[in-house]
Amino acid sequence: MGVFSFVSLALFAIGSAAIQVPYSYRKPSIDSESANNFFGGKKWVVLVAGSDGWNNYRHQADICHAYQIVRENGIPKENIITMMVDDIANNPRNPVPGTIINQPNGTDVYKGVVIDYKGTDVNSTNFLKIITGDKKAMQFIGTGKVIEGGPRDRIFINFVDHGTTGILGFPDDLLYADELNDALKTMYASASYRMVLMYIEACKAGSMFDGILRDNTDVLAVTASGPRENSYGCYCRSQSGPYKTCLGDLFSVTWMENWDATVSQPSTRKRTVFHDFKECRTNVTESNVMVYGDFKTGHEPLSAFIGYKTHSKTHLSAEPIMDITNEPKNTVSSRNVRENTVQQQLASHELSFSERRRLSTESRLNNEMRLIIDTALRTIYSKVVKARPEIKSKVGDFYEPNHLDLSLDVFPCYRSILNKITESCFSLPRNPYALDRLTIFANFCIVDKHIHQMVEKLVSASCSKVQKLNLRNVY
Ligand X SMILES: *[C@@H]1O[C@H](CO)[C@@H](O)[C@H](O)[C@H]1NC(C)=O
Binding site for ligand X (CB under 6 A): 104-105, 120-121, 123, 125-126, 141, 172-173, 240-243, 254, 258, 279, 283
Task: Look at residues 148, 180, 136 and name the one whose alpha carbon lies nearest to residue 44.
Answer: 148
Burial pattern 282-313, b for ≥16 Cβ within 10 A else e, equals eebebbebbbbbbebbbebbbbbbbbbbeeee
Minimum separation from the CB atom of position 474 to ligand X (A): 20
Among all residues, whose Cβ is closest to ligand X? 241
* CB of 166 closer than 8 Å to CB of 177: yes
DSSP letters, 37-92, are BTTTB-EEEEEEE---SGGGHHHHHHHHHHHHHHHHTT--GGGEEEE----STT-T
State in angstroms the smallest separation of the CB of 278 from ligand X. 10
Q: How far apart are alpha carbons 152 and 149 in whole angstroms?
A: 8
Active site members:
162, 203
- The distance of closest approach from Cβ of residue 240 to ligand X in the complex, given in angstroms and rounded to an integer, is 5
Cβ neighbours of 29 (radius 10 Å)? 9
Least spacing, CB of residue 280 vs ligand X, in Å: 7
Closest separation in Å from C-beta 390 to ligand X? 36
Buried/exposed code over 401-435 (b: 16+ C-beta within 10 A; e: otherwise): beebebbeebbebbbebbbbbbebbbbbbbbbbbb
Q: Which is nearer to ligand X, 172 or 362 (CB)?
A: 172
Q: Nearer Cβ to ligand X, position 83 or 203?
A: 83
The least CB distance from residue 255 to ligand X, in Å, is 7
H/E run at residue 197 = strand 195-201
The identity of residue 181, as a single letter, is N
DSSP assigned state of 115: P
Cβ proximity to ligand X, 123 vs 207, nearer residue: 123
CB of 36 to ligand X, least distance (A): 28
Give the separation between CA 53 and CA 51, rounded to whole angstroms. 7
Nearest C-alpha neighbor of 83 from the set 125, 32, 39, 119: 119
Report the nearest approach of ligand X to the CB of residue 333 (Å): 20
Q: Please give the order of strands across the beta sheet that includes 232-234.
A: 248-249, 232-234, 331-333
Q: Minimum distance between the CB of residue 271 and ligand X, rounded to whole angstroms?
A: 11
56 vs 254, beta carbon nearer ligand X: 254
Q: How far apart are the C-alpha atoms of 146 and 458, rounded to whole Å? A: 41
Nearer to ligand X, 92 or 242 (CB): 242
What span, in angstroms and rounded, lies between the C-alpha atoms of 400 and 12? 49
Give backbone dihedrals phi and psi of 130, rounded to 5 degrees, phi first: -65, -45
Q: Which is nearer to ligand X, 126 or 207 (CB)?
A: 126
The residues near 257 (Cβ < 8 Å, ≥ 6 apart) are 103, 325
Helices (H), 245-351: 250-262, 273-283, 303-306, 337-347
Own/partner pairs, 145-149, CB within 8 angstroms, 24+ separation: 145/78, 145/81, 145/116, 146/81, 147/44, 147/46, 147/81, 147/192, 148/192, 149/42, 149/44, 149/187, 149/192, 149/193
Among residues 172 and 374, whose Cβ is nearest to ligand X? 172
By C-beta, is 174 or 202 nearer to ligand X?
A: 174
Phi and psi torsions of 273, nearest 5°: -60, -40
- Length of the chain measured in residues: 475
Residue with Cβ nearer ligand X (272 or 283): 283
DSSP letters, 137-157, are: HHTTSTT-------TT-EEEE
